[in-house]
Amino acid sequence: MTNPLISIIIPVYRTEEYLAECLDSVKKQTLDDFEAIIVNDATPDNAMRIAQRFSEVDSRFIIVAHDENKGLGAARNTGLDKAKGSYLLFLDSDDLLAQDALSLMVEIAEEKNADIIVGNMAVLMDEGYELTSYTNGLFINWQQIDEENLRCLPANLYAAGSVCHKLFRRELLMEEGIRFPEGIYWEDNAFSMEAWIVSKRIFACPEVIYLQRKRKDLDNPSITQTQNRKIMTDRDKLAVGVFKRSYPYVGKIDDAHLLGIRTLRLCRGLSNALINDYEKRFFIFDNLWYFWHLALIKILLLILNVKYSLQKKRK
């Protein structure tokens, strides 16, 4: 049996209400050469009954189970371990793929011999969808520059953050040992940055390929809608993780320090927004954390710059 062209990794945890629609969007893809790896992250609801209905009638849907809840990063890593496709795509189990998502991205990837394809993203509305300012802003900027390979663009124009609107060449990730940080929120940032650093050919797919859901059930929010103290304090772990992943490449890959700096600054910006919006804030603790967090990022930025300067002098 030949390996599939694409492995779609779908972690599942408390998404019973949305999973059928999510998996149906996968099943209806115009490109059918895929495997959908559904990772049961010990979900307490009936989501797995829905997943089993799909796997029983379609062998492309494969279920892998965790004995205990390990979080999104660990679930995605489990999917990475099981994947056999030439390309990887990550899909959250409350979101949807546009019907032509796989065919559009693979066509460009094959034509350009790409390491990463970046597609556009939209937010599901009551009627239709609305482009996200994050991805749409990037595409507007990219269209104004006469350079097709996004890897050649300045670091401030790289597609940080979410992995869900990107197609990755699996061989590259395996060769470089790139995996998700586990046990923290916003693990996408470190993964996306490291994959970008080691890639040589990255291209855009301007069509909307990924549809993100903003949940209306406030008792079961998505990670992007969650507000708690762990979201805040995980920023320290994320910043250190970004630093550790970019530091070894400084001096070896020309813009590695700039990509690390860009990602750390994005972390700082997200932390600024987070501390301002956090409604349950305990003033003394959270403000002390915030000042420590800013100091930590300044230190990490300084170290990256110093290493780059020293490496440059040696050359």
HSE, CB side, 13 Å, CA atoms: give it for residue 142. 24
Phi (first) and psi of residue 63, to 5 degrees: -105, 130
Task: Give pTM, 2 decimals.
Answer: 0.90
Residue spans of the domains in the chain: they are 6-218, 227-314
Residue 199 confidence (pLDDT): 97
Phi (first) and psi of residue 68, to 5 degrees: -145, 160
Residue 214 confidence (pLDDT): 82
Tokens of 242: 């970004």
d(CA 181, CA 188): 8
Residue 277 confidence (pLDDT): 56
Contact 165, 219 (CB under 8 A): no
Give the contacts of 222 (CB within 8 A, at least 6 positions apart): 92, 94, 213, 214, 215
d(CA 11, CA 13): 7
Q: How far is CA 85 from the centre of its chain?
A: 18
Homologous superfamily in CATH for domain 6-218? Spore Coat Polysaccharide Biosynthesis Protein SpsA; Chain A (3.90.550.10)
**Closest Cα to residue 119, out of 210, 14, 28?**
210
Contact 205, 114 (CB under 8 A): no
Residue 266 confidence (pLDDT): 85
Handedness of CA 82, 83, 88, 91 (dihedral sign): negative
Phi (first) and psi of residue 281, to 5 degrees: -65, 130
Q: pLDDT tens, position by position, for the chain (315 residues)?
A: 689 999 999 999 999 999 999 999 999 999 999 999 999 999 999 999 999 999 999 999 999 999 999 999 999 999 999 999 999 999 999 999 999 999 999 999 999 999 999 999 999 887 778 898 888 899 999 999 989 999 999 999 999 889 999 999 999 999 999 999 998 888 899 999 999 999 999 999 999 999 999 866 555 554 454 455 676 778 788 899 999 999 999 999 999 999 999 999 888 876 766 666 555 545 555 677 778 888 899 999 999 999 999 988 876
Phi (first) and psi of residue 275, to 5 degrees: -70, -30
**DSSP letters of 214-266?**
--S-TTS--GGG--SHHHHHHHHHHHHHHHHHHGGGBTTBTTHHHHHHHHHHH
Residue 233 confidence (pLDDT): 75
